[in-house]
Amino acid sequence: MGSPSTPGRLTVISGPSGVGKGTLVDALLQRHPSLWLSVSATTRTPRPGEIDGVTYRFLDRERFETQVQAGGFLEWAKFAGNLYGTPRGPVEEHLAQGHPVLLEIELEGARQVRRSFPAGFQVFIKPPSFEELERRIRGRGTELEEAIQRRLARAHQELEAETEFDAVLVNGDLEQAISSLEALLNLG
Ligand code: 5GP
């Protein structure tokens, strides 16, 4: 389990759906190939272009729950009607090898990781405004109205939790946000 003596560094990137966490993390990985991003498991249906094992490991609910029972997740949470979890093994292996590890997860998961990895670093990404967040979620065009409403309701709750995090970053201008994240994570 994680402890302050864990050789690698564990960084959690969290923030509401639609805030652009994925885009930020992708840019960071491109620029800093030594970073390793955990591939989460989810019961959500793949969006067009998403590849099993790359974007997510897509599992049916039964297989996801079997993994939960087996203690296979470092953290897991229900989000907008689906289950999401971080497979434990690969994260522990990368940390043991001294690699910096990134998790891109929602609030409940971030809270669980905070308990198991108190030495980890947690960054909260927030939008310039709630209206902008709604525009981004709708602009993605991948969710039905009901799912959009669930994500917006959840976003309100998540935005209230920013003070729990080690650092807060506004994702307005992407380039600026990438530079700020690099500075926060001490990436040259
Ligand atoms: P999406 O369905 O838009 O890909 O993801 C929905 C939310 O689930 C996002 O906030 C994303 O960061 C979060 N998420 C993705 N993977 C995980 C995970 O392994 N654990 C938790 N707790 N949240 C995750």
The answer to whether residue 52 scores a pLDDT higher than 60 is yes
Mean pLDDT, rounded, for 13-22: 95
pLDDT tens-place string over residues 54-103: 999 999 999 999 999 999 999 999 998 999 999 999 999 999 999 999 99
Residue nearest to atom 2 of ligand 1 (CA): 44
Residue nearest to atom 5 of ligand 1 (CA): 17
Q: Report DSSP letters for 115-160, one per residue.
A: HH-TTSEEEEEE-S-HHHHHHHHHHH--S-HHHHHHHHHHHHHHHT
Q: What is the pTM of this model?
A: 0.93
pLDDT tens-place string over residues 100-126: 999 999 999 999 999 999 999 999 999
Ligand 1 centroid, distance to 180 Cα (angstroms): 22
Structural domain boundaries of the chain? 10-184
CATH architecture, range 10-184: 3-Layer(aba) Sandwich (3.40)
